[in-house]
Chains A and B, each alone.
Chain A
């Protein structure tokens, strides 16, 4: 955990120092281009790699009763047997995180009246669901809001989103709820790993690193907007230069902006090689994208070699005369077979 924090802090410090000594071109132009290229190539490579991997077994997750006899009610939303049902389940999974909604938590209650002593209890736990929804949707809105730096004139949809986002009119520049909630959600996801002992035991650096990286990105973004401001007219000129492949000088922009940009670049570089690939991976999950029709349709392992069959009819053809001589029962008698 602290190693991940240290790595993110070092990346930020390097970007800060680098842009302060005049390496703004390296952190503001070269690194973002390399990162974007690596992001696209890496993600498409991972998708093709997954698409090439055979699925040996039908392993759909069943969250309810599979289709069976007519008088047994099928759980159509959780155990679909049709393509439409699978698409529906996938859509709800991607948009509403339905499987996280089913999350349960096991705990030992020290004293329970039923047992008159300690007892293990299981209960529904929605916190992960709530905060991951919050995180993902706030991140989406923040990403969309950033398009004001990528286009001129700015699309009215973005103006509308900003109006809604800053509807409370707190301060100037207006406080955007998505930014604040995004940070809260990330801090919850981090606290969950840090303070839940069972989760902490199974958490690895590749769990903490993206969290700290995202906290760094959101933190620098919030700082740039509300505290350590920079001239955004100049930032827009710089960003428009980048997206039109005609980079301009980075002079006059706060070093913190380059920390923000560098952390985003690191996120893009890291993305294809990490668990963040669940963005594409969810669509490749056999547990999610296969219909629950294992009793109706035989799933053939794609890497099985073609089988050499030797049927009884062929066997009888080969040994008919000998079998007839021995008086064994035959499907076809020798004189009939000859006709």
Chain B
């Protein structure tokens, strides 16, 4: 092998960089679990506006759409897929039940590195209020 020293250094750098997904979490949790959420304790409604599966994947799109409907189109009524009608409002509809920001929203957001910009306009709920 020609220039063996340089080539071996190159191979080590390559292997180090591209194996990063496997060692980068060396100091973190070895046994990663889905974050456990504190669901609303005294729900004012029987069920959320849409199914849990839909909300898990699409709640951010829904909230974005609600913002556009409420603030740009002045439409405050949302008709859910099962026909129920809801008032389009983050603070008066969503947060009436989901009032525990730290134990509900933040749990998934922090571990998945999501930084929503809801709170540049809305007041960030503190703790369990």
Q: Which residues of A pack against B, CB within 8 Å?
A: 39-40, 43-44, 47-48, 51-55, 147-155, 158-159, 162-163, 169, 171-174, 229-234, 236-237, 240-241, 243-244, 246, 252, 254, 280, 283, 302
Contacts and interface: CB of A to CB of B under 8 A. Distances in A.
A172 B120 CA distance: 14
Given A233-B35, A237-B33, A52 B116 contact: no
B38 to A, nearest CB: 15
B42 interface: no
Nearest to A233: B108
Interface string B5-47: 0010011001100111110110011111111000000000000
Contacts, number: 109
A151 B18 contact: no
Contacts of A280: 10, 14
Nearest to A147: B24
Interface residues of B, number: 41
A174 B109 CA distance: 13
Contact of B32 (A52, A54, A152): A152
Contacts of A151: 24-25, 28
Contact of B21 (A147, A173, A302): A147
Given A148-B113, A163-B115, A51 B63 contact: no
Contacts of B28: 151-153
Interface stretch (B51-59, B72-80, B81-89, B93-101): B51-59
A244 B32 contact: yes
A237 B32 contact: yes
A52 B19 CA distance: 25
B60 A52 contact: no
B102 to A, nearest CB: 16
Given A163-B115, A237-B33, A52 B64 contact: no
Given A40-B18, A229-B57, A233-B34, A51 B3 contact: yes
A53 B1 CA distance: 8
A149 B113 CA distance: 9
A149 B114 CA distance: 11
Contact of A43 (B4, B14, B32, B57): B14
A241 B21 CA distance: 12
A58 B61 CA distance: 59
B112 A232 contact: yes
10 contacts: A39-B18, A40-B19, A47-B7, A47-B10, A48-B7, A150-B20, A162-B115, A163-B115, A254-B57, A283-B10
